[in-house]
A and B are shown apart, each in its own frame.
Chain A
Amino acid sequence: MTTSTSPATTAHEAGTGPSDAERRAAARRWRVVVVLAALVLLAAAALLLLGVRGDWGFVLGLRGRRLGALVVAGVAVGVSTVLFQTVTANRIITPGIMGFDALYVLVQTVAVATLGTLVVVTADVRVRFALEVLVLLAFGLLLHALVLRSTASGDVLLLVLVGVVLGATFTSATLLVSRVIDPNEALTLQDLLFARVGTVDRQLLPLGAAVVAVVAAAALRRAPVLDVVALGREAAVGLGVAHRREVRRAFLLVAVLVAVSTALVGPLTFLGLLAANVARELLGTHAHRWSLPTASLVAVLALVGGQVVLERLLGWGTALTVVVDVVGGLYLLVLLVRQGRPHTRGALL
């Protein structure tokens, strides 16, 4: 995924050339990426080919679209989580945990309630999409202004708590609004929101894929700057990075990515957390040119591999998001409990 092949150079060693240890670390990172990519290809092939019966063209078309949705959503979740964690300077909050996904669903519901299903369904996907991104962006900036600014260690827990409660409140509000609208409209709305992996919107998939590709490329290009932003506001400003502008830009990218992934496969509250942290664990580095692609690969692997296991081995069909959330939730629980012990305290913040 990364185009550059030069080994990582840190500031103090610039010019002296890479040391042996660095070269070995880089080689290990390449191995991680290659193995993950191979696993993703394997899972993708399994999803496409296992147990095909009847008309191959039809089945492959259907499954191809499903695979496409999972891949695009996985990349969106991976990249958006890494970006979000960088600008908020901690490792346990993600757009999903802060209620972005739930807000997206609420926005859809409110749109149907106020404009009617007909308007929403027949509206140009691009227009709809742009509006949804705008709302998510506004929410992101508001969150930032209200609560994200300070990152003292006690506040991180407050943030997560606020995020979880916000998500729950958005979900309740969605239920409330969907009760207010006409039952027929509510049915269409359900199709709109819970179309999920089975039947992906024909227009949305290519659009989402293109948007995610552009955003991911843009994030990757800014990887060195993001590495500096990750040091925190003061350090970043001291090193001459326009922190405020970078944060705003990152929030815009996050809003776009959350909208794409939620539209394609529904809310995935804890997947990003899993992907970003597993990626860093495997890589042993926080450098964005490694963590962005690797987190994406982990998320895609979790989605595609999970779908294969559920669909082919267990016959569970569309319960993927539930399973991913259970595993991700358990992982956050482990992170939190570990954080509660003195010797690991602060490791996550």
Chain B
Amino acid sequence: MTTTSPHDAGPAAPWRAAGLRRAAGSRPAAVAAAALVVAGALASLFLGAADLAPADLLAARSLDDPAVELLLVSRGPRLLALLLAGSAMAVAGLLMMHLTRNRFVSPSTAGTVEWAQLGLLLATLVLGSTGVLERMLVAVVAALAGTALFLRLLRRLVLADTLLVPLVGLMLGAVVSGVTTGIAYRADLLPVLATWTAGDASGIIAGRFELLWLVVVALAVAWWQADRFTVAGLGEGTAVSLGVDHGAVVRVGLVVVAVVTAVVVVVVGAVPFVALVVPNLVTIVVGDDIRRALPVTAAAGAAFVLLCDVVGRVVVHPYEIPVGTVAGVIGGVVFLVVLLRLRGRGVSA
């Protein structure tokens, strides 16, 4: 992230004048991401245990046709769920990156995901398995509280080292997830917990993903507030001198991130590295202006998750590997490469 003194900022488009990185590759990147989404979507629709070919759909004459039914009940909802979850998590990662001014911070490296899982577990213990909405609310509150705690902790790290910050977040997440595992072990809920911790799209059919539409609201808020987030990403001092209420922007961002993370954890489960890898790669190409980066990030996140899901379904056809597991391997490798290459170039972040 480029830092500049507030004096450089012009009145018209301050963040641009302030010398934010903006590469020329914005439009090609958007087109590429969109193409990947379409390819992933097609693969996602027409691959699976049951055969479904585009020709079957064209040949269908009524809504009762088995091909159409398969599309409406299973493949369609699954595709939508992955699209929504992937794009929302990637955007949540983009926001976290700007709010903490650290490109290695995301809901999965700040403990947000783990807090949401803990909330979900506690809600399940207290409320039973009924009341999806209530469980989700508890998960949102837990994610919100946990992330706020992390930001608190950050303020105490005087020399907020670029690499120290995500490490602290990861450790916090590890501790919280250990507590969650311990509680689940005591309550004989370990198998249930396993289905939440590894994001799995195989159970998503019509009627089980509609909660995910909530993330569209969160994404809309992010889009609406995009310029404020960009300015907040320049640091508290700069933001305030540009007339932006830094604290308010951080609070809005926190809520968006917590809602997105909790909803995705409740419906799909954790999909690791999406929120970390995708915004990093996108901002390298597109630059730090959130209004430009947001749509590309959303598309690339959706594409990443779709492709991971397709890989998971192809490798052991007709069985499948959970999307979270595939994302854990692919995302982990990509992140390591990014980390080591950044260091190789002597860039701290």
Q: A interface vs B, CB < 8 Å? A: 146-147, 154-155, 157-158, 160-162, 164-166, 168-169, 171-173, 175-176, 179-180, 269, 316, 319, 322-323, 325-326, 329-330, 332-333, 336-337, 339-342, 345
| A contact residues around B329 at 8 Å (CB) | 169, 172-173, 176
Q: Does B295 contact A (CB under 8 A)?
A: no
Known A-B contacts A157-B167, A158-B343; A175 and B198 likewise in contact (beta carbons under 8 Å): yes
Whether B171 contacts A333 by the Cβ 8 Å rule is yes
Interface stretch, picked from B23-31, B121-129, B151-159, is B151-159
Q: Does B262 contact A (CB under 8 A)?
A: no
Contact digits for B248-265, partner A, Cβ 8 Å, 1 yes 0 no: 000000000000000000
Known A-B contacts A172-B272, A179-B325, A337-B157; A330 and B175 likewise in contact (beta carbons under 8 Å): yes
Whether A172 contacts B156 by the Cβ 8 Å rule is no
Question: Which 10 pairs show the lowest CB-CB distances between chains A and B?
Answer: A172-B328, A169-B332, A340-B157, A157-B163, A326-B178, A329-B175, A333-B171, A329-B174, A179-B321, A175-B325
**Shortest Cβ gap from A144 to chain B (Å):** 14
| A contact residues around B343 at 8 Å (CB) | 155, 158
Contact digits for B85-102, partner A, Cβ 8 Å, 1 yes 0 no: 000000000000000000
- Closest B residue to A342 by CB, please name it: B158
Q: How far is the CA of A176 from the CA of B182 in the complex (A)?
A: 24
- Closest B residue to A310 by CB, please name it: B182
Whether B340 contacts A176 by the Cβ 8 Å rule is no
Known A-B contacts A168-B272, A326-B175, A333-B175; A340 and B158 likewise in contact (beta carbons under 8 Å): yes
Whether B164 contacts A333 by the Cβ 8 Å rule is no
Whether A169 contacts B336 by the Cβ 8 Å rule is yes
| B contact residues around A173 at 8 Å (CB) | 328-329
Q: Is the interface of B mostly helix, strand, loop or mixed?
A: helix
Beyond A164-B167, A176-B329, 8 additional pairs, beta carbon < 8 A: A157-B161, A165-B332, A175-B198, A319-B185, A336-B167, A336-B171, A340-B164, A341-B159
Q: How far is the CA of A180 from the CA of B158 in the complex (A)?
A: 46
Q: How far is the CA of A4 from the CA of B141 in the complex (A)?
A: 58
**Shortest Cβ gap from A335 to chain B (Å):** 9
A and B contact pairs by CB, cutoff 8 A, 9 listed: A154-B163, A154-B348, A162-B340, A172-B272, A172-B324, A172-B328, A172-B332, A319-B182, A322-B185
Known A-B contacts A326-B182, A333-B175, A341-B157; A162 and B167 likewise in contact (beta carbons under 8 Å): no
**Shortest Cβ gap from A77 to chain B (Å):** 17
| B contact residues around A345 at 8 Å (CB) | 159
Q: Does B140 contact A (CB under 8 A)?
A: no
Whether A337 contacts B168 by the Cβ 8 Å rule is yes
Whether A341 contacts B158 by the Cβ 8 Å rule is yes
